[in-house]
Structures are given as C-alpha cells and as structure tokens.
Structure 1
Amino acid sequence: MIEEKVVQKIGILGAMREEITPILELFGVDFEEISLGGNVFHKGVYNDKEIVVAYSKIGKVHSTLTTTSMILAFGVQKVLFSGVAGSLIKDLKINDLLVAQQLVQHDVDLSAFDHPLGFIPESAIFIETSKDLNALAKKIANEQNITLKEGIIASGDQFVHSKERKEFLTSEFKASAVEMEGASVAFVCQKFGVPCCVLRSISDNADEKADISFDAFLEKSAKTSAKFLKSMVDEL
C-alpha cells in the first residue's frame, strides 16, 4: 500500500454537528474517527492535504478546547471555522457570507475596574484573523461571483435575540454579526501562531424571531458556508 504524501495539515471546525455534516460529505474521503477530550475528530487525506474536522459544541469554552486539541494533538497548520451567525446589520441577509477581519468577546465586562467592555488584561479587545486566508476567501468569492462581506464578528455565551442587544453590539463594537465561538477560536490560533479564518453564513437576524429563523435556515446556511470553505481548501 502506497501512503499518500501530506503537504500540509488543515483543521476545520464548526460548533454543531449540523455545521460539519455538509463538510464531511463534500470532501468525500474516508475519515478516521479519533476521540479526544470529549470530541470526535475526523481525520483524512484530501488532495495531498491532511484535514481534521470536528464540531466543538456550542460556546467559547468548548471551541477553545477543540481548537487547542487540533493544534497541539493533531498539529494543524491552519484553522478554518465554518458555521452560521446572526446578522446585526441590514446589509447582511439570510444565507449571505461573512468573513471575520476581527472578533471580539462581547460578554466580557470588567467595567467595574474601569476597563472597556470586551477587554481582558494582557489581551486585546479585538482579535485579528489571517490576512492571507481572508484574501484567499475574497479571491475565491470574486472568481465564483459570490458576495462575501467582511467585518467584525462578536462572540459570546448567549444566543442574541433582541433588538436592544443588537443595537448594543453594533454601537459598542461596530460588529456585523454575532455568534458563540469565533473569538475564542481566533484567540487560541493567535496565541499559537496558527493562521485562522472564520467564515459565517447568516441564519437569522438576531432579533425576537431569531430562534424560529435559526431553526429554519440552519441547514441551508451551514451548507453555504461549507461549500465555500471547501473551495478555500482546494486552493490552499
């Protein structure tokens, strides 16, 4: 048996099973399942690339654990996050794609100590993603005639579903979308020096009807993000 030569290792993350199911189907390779730290990692070889796919479960703690495991245990050299998010601005509609230039933890509040919202000592408020990976995403979007927006994504351990919270996130952080994992994934990648891209497809408008919209559009939006992510892997 001839072993396939692996050129690079790429980690692919989602928060929910529904977000990685279309990813596994699109790549169409035989994945080995490896259990570690309460997660199942799907490892396979695709076009000379070793890809490791997992869903972290919802929230910043779970996504921190899974991202750290991918980097330290599997040695991934890039991390791509694919999933859904709630729109905070009128320009982002259901099923639109957004790539994060920066991310922020919107639920961090140390204002009692005169710190700005989102700030933790020895850390920046806004977490940067990879300019190279984001440039690749824009290139692919242009080639495929897909509208890909760029902006700030706010992450926190709450499902945002109110006009008041939306207005706070846009006024305080200038955020375009909100979700529950991206900032922690980007933070871990930044600290370990691993390039990261956070790609989100809009599933709801983060308003009072967000729970209904989320359930209705989760599958379609997850597939949109997954298909675009595969195009990125094809060019890495």
Structure 2
Amino acid sequence: MRTAIVSAMHEELAAVLALMPDESRQPVAGREFWVGHLHGREVVAVLSRIGKVAAATTATVLAERFNVGEVVFTGVAGGLGAGVQVGDVVVADRFLQHDLDASPIFPRYEVPLYGTGEFRTDAALTTRLAAAAARALPAARLHRGLVVSGDRFVSTTPECRALQAALPQALAVEMEGAAVAQVCHDYGIPFAAVRTISDRADDAAPGDFARFVREVASRHSAAIVEALLA
C-alpha cells in the first residue's frame, strides 16, 4: 500500500523528503510528486500548495494517478480552542469548512448535496497518527477533535473570536484539510491529518506563524511521519 504524505508549504515537507533515500520526481498538474520509500514503505510526498482548491486538486491526482491507499496531511495551524497553545499538536478527527455558507438553500456549513458539513477522518489511521505524534513529540500536548478550514489566513483577534463563538468545538483553523477530507471521502481513501499549532490566529499570528514555520514546522512534520511509518 502506498502512503501519501502531503503538506501545504515547502518548509513543512522539506525534512520529510530528506528522509526518503530513493525518491523520484514525477510532475503532474503543475506539482512535483516524489515517489519512493520511507522505512521500506511505499510513499509519495507532495506539496499541495495553499488553499482548498489547490489541496483538492492534489488529493484528486493522488487518487487518480498514484492510486494511494491512505493520505496523511501534516503541517501547521492556528489555535482556536481555549487550551490549544503554540507548540501543541492537533490530530483531526473531523473537518468542516468555516467559510462555506449556501444558506438559506442549505444550512450554514453544510456541503450542498452531501447532507453534512463535517467529514470525518479515518478512525484507524487517525489513531495511528495520534500515537505516532505522541511518540515523536512526547513533550508536546496532544489534542484530538474538530479542525476547520477556509480560504483565509485567520490573523486578527476579532476574526478569531468570531470563529470561536460560531464553532466553539473547533480546536484549530487552517486552509486545506476539509478539502482533502471531502475528496478522500468521495474516493473512499483513508485520510488523517496532524497540525502543529504555530500561532493563536490573532493579531500576533503573522509574526508567530512565519517564525514557527521557519524554525519548527519541518522538523515536527518529519518526526511525526517517521514515527508513523517506522
């Protein structure tokens, strides 16, 4: 079975690629898919780029062209939950698009014609990923629950507070996971996602995010992926 490792930013994926001893580059749809092995497991690693459409395109190519058996998304997110702080790790058990609103035709957040706004991650793969994160980063606090996605970098305190009020169960906010979850649902591919908290999605987020991605994100992603596949 081939595992797809996906990240939205180069910094998040670079250290994963460094672990692959025999990767070969396969360009598809303007992206570079790196096919090889990690700890003897078949792997394809790819940079999805940022945002829901880019993430959906990437997930579709993984399903159609590379016939992956499971998809794992790693990267960073902004913390929303009251106890979710910078440096914590969030493993998603479900995703929702916080910027999707087809009301009054459909309820707010519901994906039209699906009858739901939430897409759950695969239970078994998510449990494996959470265990890998705990082994790889034993000093980090681990959370598991709802992660929300939208085509906006949430970086002001008023917007952060509005999201917390509208979606009080949300632990973190990012820009890709809900799209990948929906594509994997459509193709019947197990999906799991882990995010390290880079900022609190507030007025300090731009500086915190840039520094965290540069200094921490790639190292965390690689450690978790290696623990998952070892």
TM-score bin, normalised by smaller chain: over 0.9
* Structure 1 residue 111 displacement after superposition: 2.2
Assess, with a 3 A threshold, how the Cα gap between structure 1 residues 143 and 40 changes in structure 2: closer, same or farther.
closer
> 1:153 corresponds to which residue?
147
The answer on whether the counterparts of 2:135 and 2:227 sit within 8 Å (CA) in structure 1 is no
* Structure 1 residue 143 displacement after superposition: 4.8
Q: Deviations over 1:37-82 (max 9, x none)?
A: 0100001023332100001110000000011101110111000000
2:159 is the counterpart of 1:168: no
CA–CA separation in structure 2 for the residues paired with 1:140 and 1:24: 18
Instruction: Give the match's secondary structure for 1:190.
Output: helix
Assess, with a 3 A threshold, how the Cα gap between structure 1 residues 34 and 142 changes in structure 2: closer, same or farther.
closer
2:213 is the counterpart of 1:222: no
Assess, with a 3 A threshold, how the Cα gap between structure 1 residues 94 and 221 changes in structure 2: closer, same or farther.
farther
> 1:194 corresponds to which residue?
189
Q: TM-score, normalised by structure 2?
A: 0.92
Percent of paired sites with the same residue: 33
The answer on whether the counterparts of 1:104 and 1:154 sit within 8 Å (CA) in structure 2 is yes
> 1:128 corresponds to which residue?
120
> Which residue identity does 2:156 align to in structure 1?
S
2:92 is the counterpart of 1:96: no
Summarize the alignment of residues 1-236 of structure 1 with structure 2, pairs less than 5 Å apart.
8-25=1-18, 27-113=19-105, 115-123=106-114, 124-143=116-135, 145-146=138-139, 147-173=141-167, 174-219=169-214, 220-234=216-230
CA–CA separation in structure 2 for the residues paired with 1:199 and 1:158: 19
**Number of matched pairs:** 225
CA–CA separation in structure 2 for the residues paired with 1:112 and 1:44: 47
Instruction: Give the match's secondary structure for 2:65.
Output: helix
* Structure 1 residue 142 displacement after superposition: 4.9
Is there any run of 5+ residues in structure 2 with no aligned partner, and where? none
The answer on whether the counterparts of 1:99 and 1:149 sit within 8 Å (CA) in structure 2 is yes
* Structure 1 residue 132 displacement after superposition: 0.3
Assess, with a 3 A threshold, how the Cα gap between structure 1 residues 170 and 98 changes in structure 2: closer, same or farther.
same
